[in-house]
Structure 1
Amino acid sequence: MFQFLDRRPASLRRRLGLAALFAAIALPVAAQAQEKFPTKPIHVVVPFPPGGINDTVARPILKKMGELMNIGFVIDNRPGASGTIGTASVARADPDGYTLLLGAASTMAVVPHMMKSVPYSSSRDFAPIGGLASVPSVMISGRPEKYPDFAAVLADLKKRPGEATYGSAGPGTSHHTQMSFLNLELGTSMLHVPYKGSGPAMADLLGGQIDFLMDPLPTTITQVGSGKIVPIAITSAKRSALLPNVPTFIELGVKGFEVSTWFGLFAPVKTPPAVLAALTDALSAALADPAIVQAMASRGMDPLTKNPAEMARYVADENMLWKGVIEKTRIGLD
């Protein structure tokens, strides 16, 4: 039997042995250091201009998540091409948890079916972290004397097919797609008048240049107090506590017409499970914070409390809904 004899000096052997021991101890410590998350600020891409409802939804929740994770969250607005530019940039980002996406109904479920080519897939390229918020819309008119309620609206739409108009913040926005869906459900033919933003659309509604606007509840609330608009119906399943006298479309007989502008937090698809879990835990805790709950309720927003699996199913269902609507209404952007 061959036996190896180490002829190196004993002092050298001891030093080498200690070095090997320290190396063995250091390996798991180094691995733990690499696995620690987060260690630097997390960037959240918002694929729309600053100052809109996207920022309103994201900022307080991300601020709370930052407090819980003891790290900064940085909002990175990257608008363009109906939100597809910023969304695609996250799909291509390193899957390390430091670049996330504020995904919205439009970018994740609507616009992909309105364009011939979109540089991402909402199902294949992203890992859901969880839901953030759901915001219903309100059909409003600037002519209280002509359209005091839904019955008056429906009678006029039937009497003057193809003459009534509705505004939007642009093609593909919730104002546009939700009213197109309503046209489909009612069998009516209101005409779409696109604007460069919701502000000009609201101005023309108040000025009487257009008849209707399907407006997100938070901005509707600011106008209701002026007495210049009349809220006709809301798109949520239940009435809003902020507008308790405004009926839902479902109450009014438009069965199944429940739509919202929703938001969720997403990461690139190959992000490590442990990183996703840490982000999901922080998001869940933020949405449960009483201050966040109160702030959202005061603005007409509902927490979209869905875990990653539930959020994935929700996005899939929304894609099925809007794909069908867009095919039937032919409101493509190309």
Structure 2
Amino acid sequence: MHRSRSARRAAPFLRACALAALAVSALAGTAARAAYPERPITVVVPFPAGGINDTIARPVLQKLGEALGASIVVENRPGASGMIGSSVAARSAPDGYTLLLGAASTMAVVPQMNASAGYDPLKDLVPVGGIASVASILVTGKKDRYPDLKAVHAAAQAQPGQLTYGSAGTGTSQHMQMAQYNLERGLSMMHVPYRGGAPAMTDLVGGQIDLMMEPVATALPQIRGGKVHPLAISQKERSPLAPDVPTFAEAGVPEYLASTWFVLMAPAGMDAANLQMLSGKLMQVLADPAIVKALNERGVDPMPLPSQEMARYMRDEYALWGKVIKEAGIPQQ
């Protein structure tokens, strides 16, 4: 059937209208993505305020908020070795308005030790990007008894299972780094978990426990105050913030290196364009000389790994700590 002349004349106009509508729709979609963020972003920190997590998170997140033109609110949700806050964030809507400060413990250790963790860091969450890493210092409150690492090893070998080391909780960096250290050295020491790093440090200073593998950022004030005695730092070179503290290599253990890392996470399913934009902004912040200086002054190194690189890094760490958990015989919770 032939169309009428008026219909043929109307066809180009109708096609133009349809194309215009598609263009408007596409622009609307682009505008919607470009508008992110339109309201404050909440970053869940699954540990108490004032610890190493806050030390790292707050200067970086403040600068990230400025780069985004939006306010970022830090919400501390402690409990269950970080599982409570992490699971809350993982179950949040993937709209980019609830993010999570992840750490080596909550992203690579604790979920492998707890069947009831409530989240799978490799499936339920996606990295925005790496933030920072921090080495640890093995410290003791008993300088007269353990003046150096050789004295620690001698005591551990002479009295297996008698030396004690504290941690902020089962599966935290203090616990796992010492578990790995003992495993690799063939030593046996007793783990004493606490409900946070502060009470563990209090008992270390008071002599109730023997040792702690404490992140540099939180160990330094105790060292400078003369409350604890440093034995070795877990990085290749001495720290300019603690130049008198030998490396493990200098103390007689050349192969031992360890660090705690931190990452900004989002619920899986976040819009890919917004995720990449957010990752790019985070990388810009971590390249800012003022942020680098602020972190370095706290004994922390920036770890600017974009989303996909951080995802690969996390998978490797997940496998590493899964092996340590198994070989060290750490029981499931």
The question of a shared fold, defined as TM-score above 0.5 by the shorter chain, is answered with yes
Q: Match for residue 3 of structure 1?
A: 3
Q: Which amino acid aligns with 2:3?
A: Q
Of 286-295 and 123-132, the range deviating more from structure 2: 123-132
Aligned length: 328
Q: Match for residue 30 of structure 1?
A: 28
Deviation at 1:49, TM superposition (A): 2.4
Q: Match for residue 153 of structure 1?
A: 152
What SS does the corresponding residue of 2:58 show, helix, strand or coil? helix
CA–CA distance in structure 2, aligned partners of residues 81 and 225 of structure 1: 31
Equivalences for 1:149-188 in 2 at 5 Å?
149-188=148-187
**Structure 1 stretches of 5 or more lacking a match?**
8-15
What SS does the corresponding residue of 2:311 show, helix, strand or coil? helix
Contact map agreement 1:105 1:262 (CA 8 A) in 2: yes
Distance change (3 Å), C-alpha of 1:20 and 1:131? closer
Task: Please report the RMSD computed on the Cα atoms of aligned residues, expressed in angstroms.
Answer: 2.5
Q: Which amino acid aligns with 1:154?
A: H
Equivalences for 1:247-286 in 2 at 5 Å?
247-286=246-285
What SS does the corresponding residue of 2:227 show, helix, strand or coil? coil
Distance change (3 Å), C-alpha of 1:28 and 1:185? closer
Equivalences for 1:100-179 in 2 at 5 Å?
100-179=99-178
**Structure 2 stretches of 5 or more lacking a match?**
8-13
Distance change (3 Å), C-alpha of 1:20 and 1:170? closer
What SS does the corresponding residue of 2:73 show, helix, strand or coil? strand
Q: Match for residue 11 of structure 1?
A: none
Q: Match for residue 12 of structure 1?
A: none
Q: Match for residue 205 of structure 2?
A: 206
Contact map agreement 1:115 1:332 (CA 8 A) in 2: no
Greater C-alpha radius of gyration: 1
Deviation at 1:19, TM superposition (A): 8.9
TM-score normalised per structure 1 = 0.89
TM-score normalised per structure 2 = 0.89
Distance change (3 Å), C-alpha of 1:132 and 1:175? same
Partner deviation per Cα, 1:257-288 (whole Å, 9 max, x = no partner): 32222100112222222111111111011111
Contact map agreement 1:132 1:264 (CA 8 A) in 2: yes
Deviation at 1:299, TM superposition (A): 0.7
Partner deviation per Cα, 1:202-259 (whole Å, 9 max, x = no partner): 2222222221111111121101122232100112233222112222224444354322
CA–CA distance in structure 2, aligned partners of residues 325 and 18 of structure 1: 64
CA–CA distance in structure 2, aligned partners of residues 279 and 79 of structure 1: 25
Q: Match for residue 302 of structure 2?
A: 303
What SS does the corresponding residue of 2:118 show, helix, strand or coil? coil
Q: Match for residue 55 of structure 1?
A: 54
Q: Match for residue 10 of structure 1?
A: none
What SS does the corresponding residue of 2:129 show, helix, strand or coil? strand
Distance change (3 Å), C-alpha of 1:197 and 1:78? closer
Q: Match for residue 74 of structure 1?
A: 73
Q: Match for residue 10 of structure 2?
A: none
Q: Which amino acid aligns with 1:165?
A: T
Contact map agreement 1:182 1:257 (CA 8 A) in 2: yes
Distance change (3 Å), C-alpha of 1:231 and 1:299? same
CA–CA distance in structure 2, aligned partners of residues 288 and 207 of structure 1: 41
Contact map agreement 2:99 2:265 (CA 8 A) in 1: yes
Q: Which amino acid aligns with 2:276?
A: A
Q: Match for residue 287 of structure 1?
A: 286
Q: Which amino acid aligns with 1:325?
A: V
Q: Match for residue 11 of structure 2?
A: none
